[in-house]
Structure 1
Amino acid sequence: MPLQEQTSLWSNTTVKILDVHSGILQVGRVLSETELKSDVLLLMGSGEGELSMNGEVCHIGASFAAHIVNGTSYTLTARSEDLQYIVIMYQVTSMEGASLVMPSYRKHPLNTSFIQDSVTQTEWVQVAEKIVAKWSRGEGLERFHANALMQGMIYELIMEYESSQGGAKSDMVDAVATYISGHYRQNLELKELAALAGCSVRQLQRRFKQEKELGPMEYVIQLRMESASRMLRHTDAPIGEIADRMGYRDMYYFSRAFKKYFGVPPQRYRLTSASRADTYMADSLLRNNLASSYESSEGTVICHMRGEYCVTEPPRRIAVLDVQYADHLLALELSPAGSVGTGSSTVNFPQYIRAGLQNTELLGTYEYPDLPAVEQLSPDLIICTEVHDQHYERLSRVAPVLMFKRNESWQTILGLFGELTGKRAEAKRIIADYHRRTALLSEELAPVLAGKSVALIRPLESLVRVHSPSHRTGAVLYRDLGLPAPLFVADTSDTAYHISVDRLPVVHASHYFLLSNELMQNGISATEQRVWGMLDEGERQHIHSVDAATWIGCYGPTGINGIVDQIAQAFLA
């Protein structure tokens, strides 16, 4: 979610109390609600009893607090003592009248039913008693004050919930799922997983299935089969070796389990996966009319953001206005006639591809291309991104222009460059080698990172950007290498979140790749210094500082493989 949207979200959000009531529940009596029509904050002032929410039962006592979301059913029972309780029904709304969408990271507290530690909630009960008193007066100003007090309680609720994420009291399903993701190649048993969660086998199975829609052992099999299929598709490892890596000591048993999961035995799956992949890639390219190709009677046609370009013969003098495209051409053993560089006061080519650009003319920078230099170069093809749309007409008078989205997959672009330059086979080989390499490295990293998560963060002027699997570099970590993402970012379509430095512990990762701007600004920024200081001394050995310019701006095959090199160095050196 962009920073501006996050700021607007909370700035325009208000908490509105719908009703408040309190009372004493005598021993043996029951208070029950089915399918709540609003969110509820339930607090206990004194007494002892049980709370059941959707079939889960827990013991409650004095200063107990529970957050119960809309649609939940609960039953409150007084056992050995009378229960003094307070029920606050509320809803969160937008002051602008728009429908409110909570931040999308996993299990946001306002979308989750949960119980807070009773020791910390005494002050909440006192505030709730004030809300009851003011609400009962039924006066406009008093109810206005009651809503203000409730808004403060919701703030405390969110902060306490987030500060506890990833700690010893994390949800049992999250803890078990994290453990499985790092140990699924080993011989796991339900009793072992239940002991880890601190519950019975039956309770773990029920809770796990509610959240994951499959049991814990089914989850183990799913991870094993997904990893095995990746090895079969992208490596030439023998079936017996793959079976052993996945925790199967009997290759025959592995083959039976694989066939049951995928419908075909491992060897047939391997033989047909290549043709399936080619068909899928062709179909996906045809569906994407912005970055794709098709064959015509006149030759290969490249589809881009501004139209189509028919390749009647490979271009000889190509000008590129993004460094990543220079990387693509060099990977295909070609050199652009001209390319933009990096830097501001001194413009140059990035170090990792500089040697291959000895005879390439410098054409300014990505943000500020030197258009007269492009015109003087007289290329027969220009390749740029949507950032250069304002220059499109002028560039088109120099040579044909291909315009791609800057955030397009490097593999898609490399495939199109192979079509464009007559090097299809070379492009396919580079992509296949990358998949093979990351598949093997993923298996090597899995035991090293067992039960640990990895965050990708970038300090900005006063905030920290936390990148998700949807970001291009995040995809290398989380999709290609299968590194475990923190719960904070695991389930989102946003490319990044922006949080204050003070809230960095909420991410709760075991390892941090810190995208540093030190090389660009000749020193560490104040925000970056605060990030280092915010993390505990014991965690500093798990901070891996990397160059932001390379990790964020260089998305060609050489740059991406360089990122993979640094990840391997960080964890395996």
Structure 2
Amino acid sequence: MYYFLKSAILPKISLVNIAHIKPPYVHKKRRADEYIMYVIKSGVMYLKEGDMTYELKSGDVITLDPDFYHEGLKASECEYYYIHFRHEAMSKEVELDRKVSKKRLIQMRSDALQSNSFSYEIYDEEKLVLPKYFHYSNQASFIKLMYVLNEAIEENKTHLEGYKVTCSCKVMEAMVTMERYFVSTCMENFDLSSAKAYTKVEAILNYINEDYPKSLSSQILEERFSCNFDSMNRNFKKITGSTIFSYLNKVRMEHAKELLSTTSLSVGEIGERVGFLDIYYFSKVFKKHTGVAPTHYIKS
């Protein structure tokens, strides 16, 4: 089972903390009026929800559903994080075909990589997906998750202005961290070569978004990523829908639009700041991208 929630809407948190239980304590049978997420830090927890039983160990993450009763099955020692939350745009979907589900998750990663970071549309379109249950096998990734959860706990304790909203932001950050790890793991299990290609493309995207003002060539990219440029470019276009240099120009033009709108710099100075030494070529690329020349864009 998967839970889908609109990531632009924050979860409302009633409780977030860490607990350490020891025998003879056993969770009582109950049906909560909210979702409850458990992240197992150490030990073991024996749990039943509906007709399903779980032996939860370190690295396990489970979301308990308000549609079902849950209860402890037997006493054990366990240290775990718990998050009690509601979300106004959350739905669930039963997993029908594992192969189809994994392809769908990979498509979500592809859609994210192709999205326009300068647009507001992603706030309306993007959904976060969390499995009912999954396991962190990578200790470094699990430590990163626990760090964010600890921040959420501390925020919830402050009782300063905006503390609940900040706590919700931290919980959402933890959920995004979970989704990214889960999707990456699914990709590796589904197709290792595909996962490597996605990882390479993510690295190229990060590099371009960071170093777009610099002079970038196919040779520089080959040396940077130790890969044949044609092969790199093919995978990049397959995953993002754009060639590497088309994406580079897109990023440069979006930053140029920002500078044209918010500064008094000349067109030539802005061209240099986004990676163009030739003002005429910058103007040509800008007009091709936006439909108007930089000078007209300023006036509009």
Taking structure 1 as the reference length, the TM-score comes to 0.25
**Structure with larger RCO (C-alpha < 8 A, sep 6+):** 2
Bigger radius of gyration: 1
Taking structure 2 as the reference length, the TM-score comes to 0.44
